[in-house]
Chain A
Amino acid sequence: MTTQAEPEIHTITDEDTLHRRVKRIPNFITNGRITSAVFKISKLDLDNALSVNLERLVDDIYTTFDIDTHALVKIKAAVPISLGCECKHTPLPDNYAHSSIYNITTRQQARQLAASAIAFTSLDISGGPSSGT
Chain B
Amino acid sequence: MIDTTYSSSNTDCPPNLLLDGALGYSSLSPKRISIGRYSTDIRQAPIIDVFDTAEMVVLPRYSLPETIQIRDSESIEAVKSFRTLEDDWNGYGATKPSEAAILNSIRLIRNIENSARFKVDICYPLDNGGIQIDISAPPFDYELEVFDDSFELLKFNQSNSLIDTVTLPLDTIDYIAEYFQ
Chain A residues packing against B (C-beta within 8 Å): 21-23, 26-31, 33, 35-38, 40-43, 45, 51, 106-108, 111-112, 115
- Within 8 Å of chain A (Cβ to Cβ): is B82? yes
C-alpha spacing A58/B11, complex, angstroms: 82
Supposing A41-B127, A45-B92, A115-B160 touch, asked if A26 and B132 sit within 8 A by C-beta, the answer is no
**B162 and A30 form a contact (CB under 8 A):** no
Supposing A43-B93, A51-B92 touch, asked if A26 and B124 sit within 8 A by C-beta, the answer is yes
Of A22, A26, A38, A106, the contact of B85 (CB 8 Å cutoff): A26
- Within 8 Å of chain A (Cβ to Cβ): is B6? no
A-B contact pairs, 26 of them (CB 8 A): A23-B90, A26-B78, A26-B81, A27-B122, A28-B122, A28-B124, A30-B121, A30-B134, A31-B121, A35-B121, A37-B126, A37-B132, A37-B143, A38-B124, A41-B127, A42-B126, A42-B127, A43-B94, A43-B128, A51-B92, A107-B154, A107-B162, A107-B165, A108-B156, A111-B160, A115-B160
A46's closest neighbor in chain B, by CB? Answer: B92
Q: Which residues of B contact A33 (CB under 8 A)?
A: 121
A-B contact sample (10 more), CB < 8 A, given A35-B132, A43-B94, A106-B162: A23-B91, A26-B123, A27-B122, A27-B124, A37-B125, A37-B126, A40-B127, A40-B132, A108-B162, A111-B143
Supposing A26-B82, A37-B125, A111-B160 touch, asked if A21 and B91 sit within 8 A by C-beta, the answer is yes
Shortest Cβ gap from B36 to chain A (Å): 66
Shortest Cβ gap from B85 to chain A (Å): 7
Task: Give the number of residue pairs across the A-B interface with Cβ within 8 Å.
Answer: 68
- Within 8 Å of chain A (Cβ to Cβ): is B161? yes
**B90 and A22 form a contact (CB under 8 A):** yes
Q: How many residues of B contact A (CB 8 A)?
A: 28
**A108 and B161 form a contact (CB under 8 A):** yes
The interface residues of chain A, by DSSP majority, are classed as mixed
C-alpha spacing A22/B91, complex, angstroms: 8
Interface centre among A36, A41, A45, by most chain B C-beta atoms within 10 angstroms, is A36
Q: Which residues of B contact A38 (CB under 8 A)?
A: 124
- Within 8 Å of chain A (Cβ to Cβ): is B150? no
B152's closest neighbor in chain A, by CB? Answer: A107
Of A29, A51, A112, the contact of B160 (CB 8 Å cutoff): A112
C-alpha spacing A23/B90, complex, angstroms: 6
Supposing A37-B132, A43-B94, A51-B92 touch, asked if A111 and B121 sit within 8 A by C-beta, the answer is no
C-alpha spacing A31/B160, complex, angstroms: 16
C-alpha spacing A30/B95, complex, angstroms: 23
C-alpha spacing A74/B7, complex, angstroms: 80
- Within 8 Å of chain A (Cβ to Cβ): is B89? yes
C-alpha spacing A36/B123, complex, angstroms: 11
Shortest Cβ gap from B132 to chain A (Å): 4
C-alpha spacing A51/B94, complex, angstroms: 13
